[in-house]
């Protein structure tokens, strides 16, 4: 049996019955149907060298080609960028299926991604397939080998600490991770291990204040542990990269405005004109509203000047673009921590049958009985 102690993003007890019901249904579903979410959309996959203003150029090209961005996620890490953008034709509202139009989109986006210095590694592709967006972003950055690259922009100092040792008697490799706690941390680590062809047999997770301590017992899909030093080093690099990709660097800006053609191009152009670099973005639409989140820094990866942020808000609209701090889940009052029944701030997890079944549902592991 597996036990999870969970809270909402603010560290409070879950009380929303709809959320609890959704979790229960997700755990019980063998093959979750995600096709409805992106049904009728065309997926664009982009990878290349990150630079200030790149997103502005990408969204300007899409607007010029009459592509309406419905949903998108953008990650940056070690000077690289990966994005999965879901679009539809502005005029018909249908997915883009014309082969000549697809070729035009790919060619123009590839030219944008290449810039002056990224002739070989810039990649674009168009797909009609439905996929798990965040897992696909991990796969794209893994294939791009972002974990081997040195960062161009300044990055945070509190890098995750990862160690890998072998437990010879039991035939396991033991992976230990210490890093700042955040949502979806477990997902990011397990996705990476799975894509590297490892199977997680057991695991323990412990959280204390803003820190997370994770331990996994893994083997290759062929049942063997990690056997040589370069492989051990690669696992450490890849796990560090997987944790850092989703790290929220910079100021979080939330845009809520009426959706229109060219909105993203205009907003990101304003960022570029004020030398703001987008380190992460989540684009979504609900009916006729655009609901977007941007994490921005200055051009060198440092915190942006508040005066510049205010000038950007004035340009875009004070009511539309707001500075939003991340949920404060790490600075709880001592009384609340003491009220945690039987857990003392710790979250313990055994990855047995339930976890294996649900990781299997996501396509993260094969069926092992």
Tens digit of each residue's pLDDT (9 = 90 or more) over 188-206: 999 999 999 999 999 999 9
Stretches where the chain sits below pLDDT 50 are: 35, 153-154, 326-363, 365-369
Rounded to whole angstroms, the Cα distance separating 298 from 269 reads 14
Residue 79 burial (CB count, 10 A) = 16
For 79, 134, 146, the CA distances from 304, given in Å and listed in that order, are 18, 26, 25
Residue that the structure tokens 């991340």 belong to:
326
CA angle 85, 86, 89 (to 5 degrees): 125
- Return the sign of the alpha-carbon dihedral for residues 66, 289, 140, 97: negative
State residue 345's pLDDT score. 40
State residue 19's pLDDT score. 87
State residue 325's pLDDT score. 64
Nearest to 320 by CA among 249, 246, 270: 270
Rounded to whole angstroms, the Cα distance separating 343 from 5 reads 8
Residue that the structure tokens 């997926």 belong to:
43
Burial class (CB within 10 angstroms; exposed 0-12, middle 13-18, buried 19+) of 129? exposed
Three-state SS sequence of the chain: CCCCCCCCCCCCCCCCHHHHHHHHHHHHCCCCCCCCCCCCCEEEEEEEECCCCHHHHHHHHHHHCCEEEEEEEEEEECCEEEEEEEEEECCCCCCCCCHHHHHHHHHHHHHHHHCCCCCCCCEEEEECCCCCHHHHHHHHHHHCCHHHCCCCCCCCCCCCEEEEEEECCCCEEEEEEEEECCCCHHHHHHHHHHHCCEEEEEEEEEEECCEEEEEEEEEECCCCCCCCHHHHHHHHHHHHHHHHHCCCCCEEEEEEEECCCCHHHHHHHHHHHCCEEEEEEEEEEECCEEEEEEEEEECCCCCCCHHHHHHHHHHHCCCCEEECCCCCCCCCCHHHHHCCCCCCCCCCCCCCHHHHHHHHHCCCCCCCC
Strand-pairing partners, residue 291, are: 256, 284
Cβ neighbors of 241 (< 8 A, separation 6 or more) are 77, 78, 141, 142, 146, 147, 192
Rounded to whole angstroms, the Cα distance separating 18 from 311 reads 39
Nearest to 89 by CA among 102, 79, 106: 102
State residue 39's pLDDT score. 72
């Amino acid at each position: 049996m597996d036990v999870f102690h969970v809270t909402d993003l603010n560290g409070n007890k879950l009380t929303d019955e709809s959320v609890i019901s959704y979790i229960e249904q997700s755990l019980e579903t063998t093959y979750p149907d995600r096709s409805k979410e992106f049904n009728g959309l065309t997926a664009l996959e982009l990878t290349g060298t990150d630079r200030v203003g790149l997103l502005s150029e990408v969204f300007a090209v899409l607007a010029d080609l009459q592509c309406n961005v419905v949903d998108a996620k953008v990650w940056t890490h070690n000077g690289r960028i990966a994005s999965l953008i879901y679009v539809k034709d502005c005029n018909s509202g249908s997915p883009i299926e014309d082969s000549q139009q697809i070729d035009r989109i790919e060619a123009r986006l590839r030219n944008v991604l290449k810039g002056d210095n990224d002739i070989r590694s810039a990649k674009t592709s168009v797909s009609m397939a439905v996929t798990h967006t965040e897992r696909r972003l991990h796969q794209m950055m893994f294939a791009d080998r972002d974990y081997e690259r040195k960062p161009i922009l300044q990055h945070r100092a509190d890098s995750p600490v990862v160690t890998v040792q072998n437990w010879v008697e039991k035939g396991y490799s033991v992976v230990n991770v210490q890093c700042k706690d955040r949502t979806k941390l477990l997902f990011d680590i397990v996705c990476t291990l799975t894509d590297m062809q490892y199977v997680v047999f057991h695991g323990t997770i412990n959280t204390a204040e803003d820190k997370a301590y994770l331990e996994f017992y893994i083997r290759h899909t062929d049942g063997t542990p990690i056997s040589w030093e370069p492989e051990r080093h690669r696992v450490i690099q890849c796990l560090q990269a997987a944790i850092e990709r989703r790290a929220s660097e910079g100021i979080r800006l939330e845009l809520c405005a009426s959706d229109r053609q060219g909105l993203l191009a205009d907003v990101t152009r304003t960022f570029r004109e004020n030398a703001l670099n987008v380190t992460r973005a989540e684009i979504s639409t609900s009916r006729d509203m655009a609901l977007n989140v941007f994490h921005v820094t200055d051009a060198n990866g440092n915190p942006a000047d508040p005066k510049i942020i205010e000038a950007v808000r004035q340009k875009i609209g004070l009511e539309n673009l707001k500075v939003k701090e991340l949920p404060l889940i790490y600075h709880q009052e001592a009384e609340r921590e003491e009220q945690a029944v039987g857990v003392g701030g710790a979250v313990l997890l055994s990855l047995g049958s339930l976890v294996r079944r649900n990781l299997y549902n996501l396509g993260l592991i094969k069926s092992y009985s």
